[in-house]
Amino acid sequence: MNDFEKLRSVILRQISSRLFSVRMAIMLPILILFIPGMAWGFSDPDVMLPGGVIPSSATEVMFYTSLGIVFGATMCAVLLSFDGVSKDRASGVLEIKLSQPMPRSHQSMALVIGHWFAILIPIWILWSLSFVIVNYRMGDWPSIVDGLTSFISVALILLWYVLFSLIASSHAKEQGTSIAFGVGIWFLFTFLWALVTTMVAFASGVSIGEENDAKWINLEGVLDLFSPNGVFHHLLETRLNDVERGVSPIITWFVALIWSILPWYWFNSRMKTIQP
């Protein structure tokens, strides 16, 4: 068995152990409520969103449905992977794994891909189901490029949260610290980032919350690049016609790449020096 076959085999085992875990069974109803549930709600012909917004296309509905990803799926990604390393470390199993003839980089890759796909597979299924629901309710499909962009964006945001959790898990001495860090990061980017944006705007002398002020929109757009949730929405917005927040699609995709590479590199480096 060569290194690639070993890696593939370990990844598949990692995916199946997480995918069919009790934790996933508990989280699945929440995910169903958040993702297809939101798609059902936002595709209602009589829906009126705050500010008088009425979603007019399937792509737009799926954009609003992405709130289910931001609030539900990312939290599930954290909950699924917060003990990816710390549990094995606390029980002594990590010492056995580290003494196996498998490069540390492969072990870390198996952990990342294993946890990522374990959350990605059900989310992609639910995301696809949401497309079907939207079509059923509105009779409209997003274009192939729109659909592809949304699938890739969903995969990327889940990868980022899995990476944050695994990094926390590899640094934490026990699982309490690990989950506190994971949930803390989720809370920062999901709820507190608006506060950070407001504070920066205030410090810069930009009118806060003025939807018609280009300075505010541009500042918010730029600051969103420093948040995974913001980058996720930037990625989805690249397929919306009437959204202009001063960040080009090329910059958005480049930042998404940075958000993927840097934490992965950090986690890989951490696993190379980790002690049981």
Partner 1 sequence: MSEVVLEMTDAAFRHFISSPSLTKPLGKKQGSGIFSVNLKIRKGQILGLVGPNGAGKTTLMRILAGIFPIQKGQIMYRDSELDDFSPISDFGLRSVVGHMPEQVRWQGKVSVKRTLEDIAEMRGVSYRVDGILMMVGLSEMKDSPLDQLSQGMRQRLTLATALLGSPKILLLDEPFNGLDPVAIRAFEKLLHKLTEKGVSIIISSHRVAGMVHLVDRLALIHRGQLLIEGTLKDIENEYELDNRIEIQGTGKIPDFKSILTDSASLLDTQTSEDGWLAVIRNQDRNLLKNLIESNAEINTWKTKDTDIVEMLCSATGQNLDEIGFEVISSTMIPYKSRGEEE
The binding site for partner 1 (CB under 8 A) comprises: 1, 5-6, 9-10, 13, 17, 22, 90-93, 95-103, 107, 275-276
Q: What is the DSSP string of 18-66?
A: HHTSHHHHHHHHHHHHHHHHHHHHHT-TT--BTTTB---SHHHHHHHHH
Residue 104 CB, nearest approach to partner 1 (Å)? 9
Residue 23 contacts by C-beta under 8 Å, 6 or more apart in sequence?
79, 80
- 8 within 8 A of 41, measured Cβ to Cβ: no
Q: Given 3-state DSSP classes, what are the helix, strand and coil percentages for the chain, each rounded to the nearest 5?
A: 75, 0, 20
Residue 8 CB, nearest approach to partner 1 (Å)? 10
- 130 within 8 A of 212, measured Cβ to Cβ: no
Q: Positive or negative, the Cα torsion across 227, 229, 235, 239?
A: negative
- 50 within 8 A of 154, measured Cβ to Cβ: no
Residue 204 CB, nearest approach to partner 1 (Å)? 30
Would you say 29 or 92 has its CB closer to partner 1? 92
Residue 255 CB, nearest approach to partner 1 (Å)? 28
Burial class from Cβ neighbours inside 10 Å (0-12, 13-18, 19+) for residue 201 reads buried
Residue 13 CB, nearest approach to partner 1 (Å)? 5
Would you say 41 or 103 has its CB closer to partner 1? 103
Would you say 91 or 207 has its CB closer to partner 1? 91
Would you say 89 or 137 has its CB closer to partner 1? 89
Would you say 11 or 163 has its CB closer to partner 1? 11
